[in-house]
Structure 1
Amino acid sequence: MKTRIFLLLFCLMNLNIFSQEKMSASEITSFKAIVEKEAKNIKSLKTDFIQYKHLDFLSKDIETSGKMYFKQPNMLNWQYTKPYQYSIVFKNNKVYINDQGNKSTVDANSKMFEKINKMIVGSVSGNMFDDKEFTITYFKNKDFNIVKLTPKTASIKKYINQIDLHFPMSDTTVSEVKLTEPSGDFTRIVFKNKQLNAKIDDSIFTN
């Protein structure tokens, strides 16, 4: 019985592995060119998101949701609205945090979440493919083009084992981000109801 269960798990694991395949060199070139070209036309982005935090010791992922606002050249607001009020604004190399009315400011330089923010902004602006701090590989399945970023530096490896960015086949902006920690725990962020080049007032980026 145990042998059968093991074989079943092995088969399922392999089905999962082979559901993705590496892009060819020509596919990578084409994908990068399309994303970079389309990104030049993106001045702003606003979207709803759902975030799932997976911890091995919990039977169910922790779910939060909210809105994300991006405006060129590098302003970003993560606004959590459920089940609590919390926002993080990235602007002018600083991070502005509003934790249910308790406000603070942090210098973003060399901060781990600033690097993650850079990946998100880069995926929108088209400047994500030449990052010196990550090894980048490209995969695809029937639904997504998938960009995997593996950190090169020890300072990032302490916190992040891998970042996966999912691009729908019919879209050139990220629809899902997965941040995997060295422990195997991960955070998955799914974007919904995206609006490109919608008017976003600068006040959105003031905490």
Structure 2
Amino acid sequence: MRNYFLLLFFIAFSSTIQAQDVTMNASEIAAFKEKVIASAKATQTIKTDFVQYKHLDFLADDVKTSGKMVFKAPGLVKWEYTNPYQYSVIFKEDQLLINDGGTKSKVDIGNSKLFKKLNQLIVNSVKGNMFNDSDFTVSFYKSSKYNKAVFIPKDKKIASYIASFELLFNKNDAQVFEVKMVEPSQDFTRIIFSNRTLNTTINDSVFSN
């Protein structure tokens, strides 16, 4: 009997969790997309702290790292990990610049359609504007605390790396505050942004390795 009541409790709890996200209707989607696109167009630079959680099925706890992200339109992005190690990645034009604790390297991604697509995906996810990308099927959800867009890749090559891509948006300013990338293995990476500042002056030298 006790197990029966426990089962009912978990079913009820699961239903409550699932009920937090409600599918948007057509008018809500149109209004939400319009707000996000307007916000993305008005955003020229972003500086933000982030905490990243890497979930691996074989580990009891998620791997936690943190650092700072800098974005400058149209497509400069720098991810700088500061804890528990020093590591930075810069997406700049057709190059990937890496600094691993002082060891620097450069990867030319200009000839790789896949890497260019992944780079574009990262840039657009930072700004929140991915809705015109024909490579994804998009679903829209809402809750009392946030709006959510879930992107499922149509391209088989992209799908071999990413099963789905989820963006959570603040209700008030339509800015992305969380990114979740789910791999085909169902391992996933969550990035939560905080202390965001917009449209401040950022020198191009920030994006040098």
Short-chain TM bin:
over 0.9
Q: Which segments of 5 or more consecutive residues in structure 1 lack a partner in the other structure?
A: none
After TM superposition, give the deviation of residue 126 of structure 1 in Å: 6.0
Kindly provide the amino acid, as one letter, of the partner of residue 136 in structure 1.
V
Summarize deviations over 1:35-88 as a string: whole Å, max 9, x none: 112222211001000000111221111100000000011000011011001111
SS in 1 for 2:186: coil
**2:54 corresponds to 1:47:** no
Flag the 1:137–1:68 CA change in 2: closer, same or farther, 3 A: same
**2:172 corresponds to 1:170:** yes
**Aligned position for 1:90:** 91
SS in 2 for 1:122: helix
CA contact (8 A) 2:114 2:158 kept: no
**2:135 corresponds to 1:133:** yes
Query: How far apart in 2 are the matches of 1:190 and 1:38?
Result: 19
After TM superposition, give the deviation of residue 2 of structure 1 in Å: 4.0
The 5 A counterparts of 1:23-38 are 23-38=24-39
What percent identity do the matched residue pairs reach? 46
CA RMSD in angstroms, aligned pairs only: 1.7
SS in 2 for 1:14: helix
Greater Cα shift, 97-106 or 192-201: 97-106
Flag the 1:143–1:64 CA change in 2: closer, same or farther, 3 A: same
**Aligned position for 1:193:** 195
Summarize deviations over 1:74-119 as a string: whole Å, max 9, x none: 000011011001111001121111111111111233345x544423
Query: How far apart in 2 are the matches of 1:8 and 1:117?
Result: 44
Query: How far apart in 2 are the matches of 1:126 and 1:84?
Result: 28
**Aligned position for 1:10:** 11
Greater Cα shift, 189-198 or 7-16: 7-16
Query: How far apart in 1 are the matches of 2:161 and 2:125?
Result: 20
CA contact (8 A) 2:170 2:177 kept: yes
Kindly provide the amino acid, as one letter, of the partner of residue 89 in structure 2.
I
SS in 2 for 1:7: helix
Kindly provide the amino acid, as one letter, of the partner of residue 150 in structure 1.
I
Q: Which segments of 5 or more consecutive residues in structure 2 lack a partner in the other structure?
A: none
